[in-house]
Amino acid sequence: MMFIRAIIVLLVAFLFVACSSAAPSALINRQWQLIEILGQPPIAAGQSVTIQFNPTDRVSGFAGCNGFSGQYRVAGATITVSKVTSTMMACADDAVTAQEMAFHQALSDATRYELTAGILSLLDRNGVVVLRFQAA
């Protein structure tokens, strides 16, 4: 009976570790610069669109006109970004405003990520790359 309990405890511990939200070290504590949004290069707006994931499940960055922050969760190759808030500065260019709105939508649509050779790709539920970043 003790053997079965020990196995159950080990299985529960394994599942807890496997399902934890710990992001891989290659993802966190570095700034990622946007290189593609919905298959297109970003509009040059004077300052790069960026994102940074920190070890405490917080995400922040610059979306073109405004800074943003929120929460993220990673489990295996899945990722969710939620509770995103943003400053409310008006963009001087309507195209940059549209890109910023598309960026936030793509960020909320992301359900999976891939890290390959310094490139971070965020994919939607259909496997389409919605955002692609390069380590800065």
Identify whether 88 is part of a domain.
yes
Identify whether 41 is part of a domain.
yes
- Per DSSP, the three-state class of 40 is strand
pTM score of the predicted model: 0.81
Give the end-to-end CA distance of the chain in Å, rounded to a whole number.
Answer: 54
Q: Give pLDDT, residue 10.
A: 43
Number of domains in the chain: 1
* Count of CB atoms situated within 10 Å of the CB of 28: 18
Identify whether 66 is part of a domain.
yes
Distant-in-sequence, close-in-space partners of 98: CB < 8 Å, separation ≥ 6: none
DSSP state of 29: S
Identify whether 2 is part of a domain.
no
Identify whether 7 is part of a domain.
no
Identify whether 108 is part of a domain.
yes
Identify whether 9 is part of a domain.
no
Q: Which CATH number goes with the domain that contains 35? A: 2.40.128.270
Looking at every residue in the chain, the average pLDDT score rounds to 87
Write out residues in the chain with pLDDT < 50, as ranges.
3, 6-20
Q: Which domain holds residue 74?
A: 21-135
